[in-house]
Each structure stands twice: as structure tokens, then as C-alpha cells.
Amino acid sequence: MSLDLLIAEFLEYLEIQKGCSPLTIREYRHYLKRFHNWLTENSSATKPEDINLEIVRRYRLYLAHLRARDGVLLQRVTQSYHIVALRAFLRYLLVQRDIPTLSPDKIELPKQGSRSVSFLNPGQIERLLNSPKISNNVGLRDKTILETLFSTGLRVSELVSLNRDQVDLQRKEFGVKGKGNKIRVVFLSDTAAQWIERYLRSRQDHFKPLFIRHRGKVDAQKNGEKMRLTARSIQNIVSKYAKRSGLPIKATPHTLRHSFATDLLISGADIRSVQEMLGHESIRTTQVYTHVTNRHLKEVHKAFHSRNKQG
């Protein structure tokens, strides 16, 4: 079977057997298509058994010199994503299909520097959350979206998939299906629950989605599914109010997720609990936030160490 057909089978495997999200599958398709195109143009390899370490070495060199449309070289982390996708595909061929090919364990991932995250301090959060004007449904909805993102640490894909009937406003919690179809319980702050309740009271519809668009043609088919906000819409909403608030960084929904995690850690939450609330499968993913606690420890040291005190 040709490599392109095997790649198509692998993507179906990710969707059906592994339960990967559409976004993950789209990214893997992009990365593997790039590998297949490069292989076709730069090698005589046509079958899985033809792939060897020399081919991988040349492909990695190609990625290191590849420039995006804006002329900027691919970031090292983006190069890593390509290699991760290739390794996953090779493992699928060996384990699931019993097709001889290069062992993925022989392909080393490039070392990455420490990952940094952008987050907002309490004053910046306050400015952002208070920036929407709530005199109409659009402003009220946007205020509720910002409060919900900061209260829960939801991924944008998780937020847009929410339905109004799954949110328990009395218990201030709901279940959400995250990456890898992993189910977790998400908790609402008192403030976020109040804003969701107020927003829903203002709506005259019975549409299923929790957050809907309030402009354009109303389409009530399939419980108003076509009225549901998209991930891009949420990103634009956050960006709009970040600019209005004069924030020093380019804020995104993920910035609010980072801010949610750092807020908990600085206030004393343990990292294992934060891991559960974020829906991280591995504690290593959550440890990217420890730089925040390090900053907090520096403040504690300055405030309480005896040699810092002025006589």
C-alpha cells in the first residue's frame, strides 16, 4: 500500500481508535503531508520499509531551513511537532499494521528550551474583565465569556462546545470532555456563575449552545447549532477587549487559561490539583507554571528574610 493511503488510514485511526480532536487530526495531516511531499520530491523511497535514518536526517535539515510565508524560519517547537507526527505514524505502521519500517525509537526529538507562558497579573485581569460594556446582549455575553474563561481555565475548544443544559449553576460545576476524550469536572467561581445566570436570563431563545452570536441572520435549525460561537470568534472577542484594556501583551483565550493556573498556584494551590483542573495528562505539562511560584517565592523571601529588613 502506498504511503499516502497509509497516512490516510493512520488519520482515521487517530479519529476512531484514539479519539483525537479534529484540530489534532488536522495538524497531523499537515505535518505528514509535508513529509510525504518532501519524500516524493527528494527521495526514491516509496514504501515504509524504504524510510531510514538518513532520510529522516535530510528531512530534519529541510525543516531547519524551511521558511514560512512571512519568510521566518520554522520555530524549533514547530519542527518538533513534525517529528512527533512522523514518529507516531511509524509506530502505527509497526505496532498496528505489522508493516516493517524504521523504528520511531531511533528518531530523537530535538531538545527544547524552557517553555515560557504569558499570563496577566491581577490588575490586568481586572481591567480585562471589566472592559465589556454590558448594556446589550453582545457586551453581556462577552463579559460572561471572559469571566468563564478566567474562572475555569477552559481551552477555547472546550468553551465553544458548552451547552446551556450541562452547566449546573446551583452546584457551580459541569463536566467537560477535553483532549483525548478525557472527562473532568470544571468549577465556576461565584462571580462567573452569576454572570452566566444573568446572561441566560437576558436571552429570549431556547438554543442549545451556551454562547451564541447575537448578530446576523437567526438560524434556529438543529436547536440553534448554527448560532454557536466558533473558536475564532472567541479568540477575536478576547483580542478585542485586550486591546481596549491596553494590555502590554497579546492576550488570547489561552492567556486566560495560563492566568487561571498561575492565580491558583500563587494563592497556594498544589500543582497536582492544578493539573487536574487543567486536564493535563502529565504533571510535566503543568510544571511549566512553576516559574510563577518561583517569582512568588522571591517576593516571600524579600518580605520575610531577616537580612532584608531595615532596622
Q: Which of 97, 254, 291, 296 is catalytic?
A: 254
Cell (9 digits) for 51: 524510510
- Tell me if residue 155 is catalytic: yes
Active site annotation includes 199? no
Q: Which listed residue (31, 59, 241, 289) is catalytic?
A: 289
Can 30 be counted among the known catalytic residues? no
Instruction: Let me know if 29 is a catalytic residue.
Output: no
Amino acid (1-letter code) at residue 197: E
CA distance 118 to 238: 14
82 catalytic per annotation? no
Q: Which of 87, 213, 258, 280 is catalytic?
A: 280
User: Which of 82, 87, 155, 213 is the catalytic position?
Assistant: 155
Q: Which of 141, 164, 257, 258 is catalytic?
A: 257
- 289 an active-site residue? yes
Catalytic residue among 34, 179, 226, 291: 179
Active site residues: 155, 179, 254, 257, 280, 289
